[in-house]
Amino acid sequence: MTATSEFGLIIVGDEILSGKRADKHMPKLIELLAARGLQLSWAEYVGDAPDRITASLRRAFEAGHPVFSCGGIGATPDDHTRQCAARALAVELELHPQAAALIRERMQDTAREQGVPYDPDRADNAHRLNMGVFPQGARLIPNPYNKIPGFSVAHVHFVPGFPVMAWPMMEWVLDQQYRHLFRQQPYLEKSVIVHGSMEATLTPLMEAVERDHPAIKVFSLPSVDHPQWGRHIDLGVKGEPADVEPAYRQLLSGLQAMKLDLGPELVREIGLSTPN
């Protein structure tokens, strides 16, 4: 992985697409990445349709970038992610021995909490072991909430749909596997509010700035009903601080030469709240 590695996110579940539940994973992953000086590059939502899940995961495995997949790794009939991951990889599923041990440990804890004897051969307990059936070659992701693990295969990381479990598991993956990608300084954005112009008019200037400063990105965020600035464009550049400064000077100089009505200048730092 290089410092420009992309991070992707796949959210699995009919309940998200139907509106029964609102996705909370994407904003949380954005927060976790930003605290480490990283950014989310793409996200995809897919319902509980095995063919679609398999296609999404196949693209994730082929892309070669870190991807988190949230949801569908349980053992009920509408959970297909484990099976689809195996299909995408063209490998068999198998009961992971460490996962099985953790699931049995969790079942023993539950029986003790309920004051009943633990019966490993009881049908529901035997069925719960399916939550530890992963594609061959999987590595475990520890679950601090109830011990039932997620798993990783190559650079794709599978966690449950429950935020209370998924979020610490994603954080663990980032800190254990991608610390070498963490930025050591904040990512910087500098922009200016442009009144009374159109993006088409500004495009040649934007292209020139990106051409002359390939390490930065230019952004243009138009608004038609802002409560303070009304109709305007928030136009700026973002990247490493040392790269942003000369690019922003060129952008601002170009806008001034066009004699446009400029409002306030804005500066934003992304991260870093360095994780432990």
pLDDT of 62-107, one tens digit each? 988 999 999 999 999 999 999 999 999 999 999 999 999 999 999 9
From the list 219, 247, 245, 248, the residue with the least C-alpha distance to 234 is 219
In angstroms, the CA 51 to CA 54 distance is 5
From the list 170, 138, 169, the residue with the least C-alpha distance to 153 is 138
pLDDT value of position 90: 97
Is 8-181 in CATH node 3.40.50.300?
no
Q: Write down the domain spans for the chain.
A: 8-181, 187-270
> Rounded to two decimals, what is the model's pTM?
0.81
Q: Of 81-90, 200-209, 242-251, 267-276, which range is least confident?
A: 267-276
Q: Per residue in 135-175, pLDDT tens?
A: 999 999 999 999 999 999 999 999 999 999 999 999 999 99
Handedness of CA 131, 132, 133, 138 (dihedral sign): positive
Q: Per residue in 1-55, pLDDT tens?
A: 334 478 999 999 999 999 999 999 999 999 999 888 888 999 999 999 999 999 9
In angstroms, the CA 178 to CA 169 distance is 13
Please tell me whether residue 15 adopts helix, strand or coil conformation: helix
Q: Per residue in 188-210, pLDDT tens?
A: 899 999 998 999 999 999 999 99
In angstroms, the CA 37 to CA 32 distance is 9
- Fold (CATH) for 187-270: Alpha-Beta Plaits (3.30.70)
- Using N-to-C axis directions, what is the helix angle for 81-89 and 50-63, rounded to 10°? 50
Q: Tell how strand 67-70 and strand 8-12 pair up.
A: parallel
